[in-house]
Amino acid sequence: MDTTDMGKYPVKTPYHLTVTAELTPDEEEGGYSVYCPELDIYTQGETVTESIANLREAVEGYIEVVGLDNLHLRPKPAIRREVELMVYA
């Protein structure tokens, strides 16, 4: 590659971003629905791996549209646990 043309190609800087992927099995259609609460993004996939890959792609597309400077991450809750209870009614 001719290095004189390097200015034609924008260099992307990697940023470390951690978001939540809430995966919910879709019992009717199969696969998984995925929600990212920090960015309010939904996607889906047939497997957990595909669902996470689709979320990564959706987040990258979202950031490309809004830009890093306009990225307003919603705060994560301090403690988040799933609790299974048996109740008597």
pLDDT in tens, 4-48: 555 677 777 777 788 889 999 999 989 999 999 888 999 999 999
6 within some domain = no
Between CA 45 and CA 57 the distance in angstroms is: 12
How confident is the model at residue 89, as a pLDDT?
65
Q: Which residues contact 57 (CB under 8 A, 6 or more apart)?
A: 43
Domain with 25 in it: 16-70
The CATH number given to whatever domain includes residue 34 is: 3.30.160.250
Whether residue 4 lies inside any domain: the answer is no
54 in Cβ contact with 34 (< 8 Å): yes
Answer yes or no: are the C-beta atoms of 71 and 58 closer than 8 Å: no
Query: Using 50, 70 and 90 to split pLDDT, how confident is the model at 1?
Result: very low
Does the pTM surpass 0.85? The reply is no
Q: Residue 86 domain-assigned? A: no
More confident site: 46 or 82: 46
Q: So what's the pLDDT on residue 11?
A: 72
Does 48 reside within a domain? yes
Total of domains in the chain: 1
Average pLDDT of the segment spanning 62-87: 76
Q: For residue 56, how far is the Cα from the chain centroid?
A: 5
pLDDT score at 76: 61
Asked whether residue 43 is assigned to any structural domain, the reply reads: yes
* Gap between the Cα atoms of 34 and 25, Å rounded: 9
